[in-house]
């Protein structure tokens, strides 16, 4: 699913910037990620682990785990929040 500018409310855009999450990260999580086990009832969550190999807050990290939480109303996605963790060796869908 391709998201539009209208899907990115100012609040979530601000949180994404604070957490180092790009729009591409969000789209990849929704389209390629696996179900988040910690999503609350009525909320969908998707998780993806992406190669990072860069510095975040003055430390080098090999991977970035992105979790996106949203609701789906008819054919529209309503983004609620996105979280990132930086590190390496994050669990994958099949592990």
Task: Provide the β-strand partners of residue 51.
Answer: 63
Tell me how crowded residue 67 is: count the other CB atoms within 10 A of its CB. 19
pLDDT at 95: 55
- The number of angstroms, rounded, from the C-alpha of 31 to the middle of its chain's C-alpha atoms is 11
Q: What is the pLDDT of residues 39-67, one digit of tens each?
A: 999 999 999 999 999 999 999 999 999 99
d(C-alpha 15, C-alpha 35), whole Å? 21
Q: What is the pLDDT of residues 61-81, one digit of tens each?
A: 999 999 999 998 888 889 999
pLDDT greater than 80 at residue 12: yes
């Amino acid at each position: 699913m391709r998201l539009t500018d209208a899907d990115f409310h100012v609040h979530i855009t601000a949180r994404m910037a604070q957490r180092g999450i790009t729009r591409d990260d969000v789209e990849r999580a929704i389209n390629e990620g696996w179900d988040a086990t910690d999503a609350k009832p009525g909320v969908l969550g998707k998780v993806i682990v992406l190669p990072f190999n860069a510095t975040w807050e003055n430390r080098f990290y090999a991977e970035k785990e992105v979790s996106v939480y949203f609701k789906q109303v008819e054919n529209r996605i309503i983004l609620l929040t996105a979280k990132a963790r930086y590190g390496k060796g994050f669990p994958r869908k099949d592990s």
